[in-house]
Chains A and B, each alone.
Chain A
Amino acid sequence: MKLLLIEDSRRLRDSLMTGLKRCGYAVLAAADGEEGLRLARMGQYDVIILDLMLPKIDGLTVLRQLRAEGCETNVLILSARDAVESRVEGLRSGADDYLIKPFSFDELVARIQALARRRFGKRSPVIEVGYLRIDTSARIAYADGVPLDLTAREFALLEFLAFHKNRIVSRQDIEEALYEDRFALTSNAVESAVCLLRKKIDRPNHPSLIQTRRGLGYMLTDAPEPEGEKAE
């Protein structure tokens, strides 16, 4: 998943970026409202994490502007203002969630996951695809009940495919969702990542649940077709 973090505190911004990337998220960051607004307009994000007390343009103004322009991305506000009035104002301005500082990192991640599930219409944190069981909250995937040893990036890829279960996602979609700067990627970065993921989740003598659709992209499905038809 791809996140946009708009936070003026450098220390907090750096810590959150480190932690969220370690969780497998692609994270872009802005230090002020103006930069945040620019980045938000340029890219597609699963969640925007927005501080309210920002230099240049304050957080609420950024939020209202984005909503006025038709931006549907989930927004989670981070703020030290805990008054009911502030929370109500934030939610009424278009935010989807409000987290008061100081907060727990685990709670932040849980709320981001909840917003992401909402985006993909998933209420349960657990997605099942065939013999795979993907727990998006615990960030653990199981194949036939056996936990898989996936890196954060691999899990993020699997999670993204699972959110789009039985639907084709293009290489471009994957690049947008999982990488901060897709223009810096090698041409076969996605293929390599898919290949590595397949090696970990595929069962011997069983069609891979990750299907390749030539010229279109990839699809995670619980009804894979036989191997001959999926080569790219």
Chain B
Amino acid sequence: MKKRPSLQNRLIVSAILTVIALGAISSYVTYQVVKYRLTRAFDDTLESKARALLSLTKFEKDGNLEFEFTSDSMPEFASPRSPEYFLLLASDGTILAKSPSFGHANFTETALRRVTSEGVFDHILPDGRMGRVLAIRGFPVVEKDSENEDGSSSTPRPASALSRPIWVVVARERTSLDRALRHVAVALAFGTLFLGFAGTAVLILVMRHGLNPLRKLATDVENVDITSLETRFSTPSLPRELAPIAERLDELFSRLRKAIARERRYTSDVAHELRTPLSEISIALEIAEKFADVGEEARTAIKQALEATAECRTLTETLLDVARHGDNARKPPMAPVDVVRVAEEEYRRLRDQASAKKLHVLQRGDTERALVLSNEHLLRAIIRNLFGNAVEYAPEESEVVIEIRHDPAKGVGLSISNIAKDLVAADLESMTEPFWRKDAARTDRQHSGLGLTLAKSIAKLLDLELSLNLSADHIFTAALQWPATQNVERNAAHLGEEAW
């Protein structure tokens, strides 16, 4: 049978996937934010340097650009190891100054074009490292030689008419930035993974714990059977969400319990109440048959009435048995029983009937004795019914096969087979229903249609499996199977086929 999906597993998987997805998204967003901030800080540093460099520039009166840069004040632009770079460019792209770190190298044309178009970008530095380039456009101050009225020198101010814009380009390797970003990415990735694993573990525990009441309710419902209908599912500790389900189950089971008790009581009461009037009828008829001075017709009528009374009596007793044994709460006393012996004894009762129909009864089996733990009285009732049905319904001069097998692993099995041309596969489902008979007109009054119902009830009471089978060539087989746990001992001897 296809396995049902698990609510718990579904919840856990969904929650885990959600947590992981959210973790991944948040990690990505966090990374992007951090990357932006770090890059921005990096760029701000570059810009500060660019501005610092711009502040060192000054247009002299003769229009020349003075650049008061010294390697001592900004040694990073002359460092032999991991230097930074700067360029001062005129508006037309002419290089006005460059850092000592360039040496004989220069920025590529591509880079120079990007300076004016992008402002800040990543580019390979002259020393081959990946760097970040930032360019600002500024106006160097113009040196003015003017005095104030009080004779002090005035602060040089850029003269828009004389100052020309220049580009200050600063570049430095971005290894440290990339390393920091990598660290952040790794940290976030590990964090996401940890969240995934830890979250999974926590979710599993939390889900299991949270679904415990549901699981318990499911187990309780699963364990309910005909003997435990008084089980109550609704308890004070049950969660609010499950309470309506449990309460409704309690109500339904209570009604079911009462209905079953009512049905059993009804069946039992009806049969019981029938006993007294049946006694009255049968005694009156018996006395009339014995002592009444009546004619032949009356005597025949009395005899027929007695036969009908006997049928009613059998019916009421069977009804009472069905009602009694339907109550599986009352287990019968069990003791070792030899199935082979019981089967032989029950068959002997029917031997005359079988002979009258010229039935050929075959015994097959692999054991002389098959001891099981059972109740002999009830077992006889089932076997008697099954044998009786086989002998009754097998066509004349046909074969009836009784087989008893003892498999230590599977247990003892008894089966009886006969030809049943009138049966169809659909009948198998109904045969154990009360009062089922193949003949819808119920002409045959010898059989009430309760035999297999009773056999089924008793089989259940004795923990036996009763199975009914009809083969394609109309061989009907009724089989009893004992579980291996009910084996008592085995005394095996292969008998082959033997006619009883």
Contacts and interface: CB of A to CB of B under 8 A. Distances in A.
Partners in one complex: yes
Contacts of B313: 102
Contact of B276 (A12, A18, A105): A12
Nearest to A13: B280
B110 to A, nearest CB: 109
Contact of A105 (B272, B286, B320): B286
Q: Which range contains the number of A residues in contact with the other chain?
A: 10 to 19
Contacts of A101: 275-276, 278-279
Given A80-B275, A82-B320, A11 B284 contact: yes
A15 interface: yes
A19 B279 CA distance: 14
B282 interface: yes
Interface in B284-314: 284, 286-287, 290-291, 309, 313
Interface in B394-446: none
B308 to A, nearest CB: 13
A48 B20 CA distance: 90
B286 A104 contact: yes
Interface in A159-201: none
Nearest to B284: A15
Contacts of A104: 282, 286
Contacts of A129: none
A111 to B, nearest CB: 14
Contacts of A105: 282-283, 286-287, 290
Interface string A1-32: 00000000101100110110010000000000
B19 to A, nearest CB: 65
B290 A19 contact: yes
Interface residues of B, number: 16
B274 to A, nearest CB: 9
Interface in A30-45: none
B287 A103 contact: no
Contacts of A232: none
A193 to B, nearest CB: 21
B375 to A, nearest CB: 13
B278 A102 contact: yes
Nearest to A51: B276
B495 to A, nearest CB: 38
Interface string B29-55: 000000000000000000000000000
A16 B279 CA distance: 10
A11 B280 CA distance: 6
Contact of A22 (B275, B280, B283, B287): B287
Contacts of A12: 276, 279-280, 283
B286 A102 contact: no
A55 B134 CA distance: 118
A104 B283 CA distance: 7
A69 interface: no
Contacts of A9: 276, 279-280
Given A11-B284, A19-B286, A80-B272, A102 B279 contact: yes
A106 B276 contact: no
Contacts of A82: 320
A102 to B, nearest CB: 4
Interface string B322-346: 0000000000000000000000000
Contacts of B291: 18-19, 22
Q: Which of B272, B275, B313, B320 has the most CB of A within 10 A?
A: B275
Contacts of B287: 15-16, 18-19, 22, 105
A227 B313 CA distance: 56
Contacts of A19: 283, 286-287, 290-291
B361 to A, nearest CB: 32
A209 B275 CA distance: 47
A74 to B, nearest CB: 20
A15 B309 CA distance: 16
A141 B452 CA distance: 49
Given A19-B291, A82-B320, A102 B282 contact: yes
Given A22-B291, A80-B272, A80-B275, A106 B320 contact: no
Nearest to B275: A80
Contacts of A16: 283, 287
Interface string B441-471: 0000000000000000000000000000000
A8 to B, nearest CB: 9
A84 to B, nearest CB: 11
A18 B291 CA distance: 9
B275 A106 contact: no
Contacts of B282: 102-105
B196 to A, nearest CB: 67
B270 to A, nearest CB: 12
Nearest to A8: B276
Contact of B286 (A80, A81, A100, A106): A106
A29 to B, nearest CB: 14
Contacts of A103: 279, 282-283
Contacts of B309: 102
A100 B320 CA distance: 13
A112 to B, nearest CB: 14
Given A22-B290, A105-B286, A105-B287, A15 B280 contact: yes
A18 B293 CA distance: 14
Contacts of A22: 287, 290-291
A81 B324 CA distance: 13
Interface in A67-85: 80-82
Contacts of B276: 9, 12, 80, 101
Nearest to B271: A80
A15 B278 CA distance: 13
14 contacts: A9-B276, A9-B279, A15-B287, A16-B283, A16-B287, A18-B287, A18-B291, A19-B290, A19-B291, A101-B278, A102-B278, A102-B282, A102-B283, A103-B283
Given A82-B320, A101-B275, A102-B275, 4 more contacts: A16-B287, A22-B287, A80-B276, A104-B282
| Shortest 8 CB-CB contacts between residues of A and residues of B | A80-B275, A19-B287, A102-B279, A101-B279, A105-B286, A102-B278, A11-B280, A15-B284
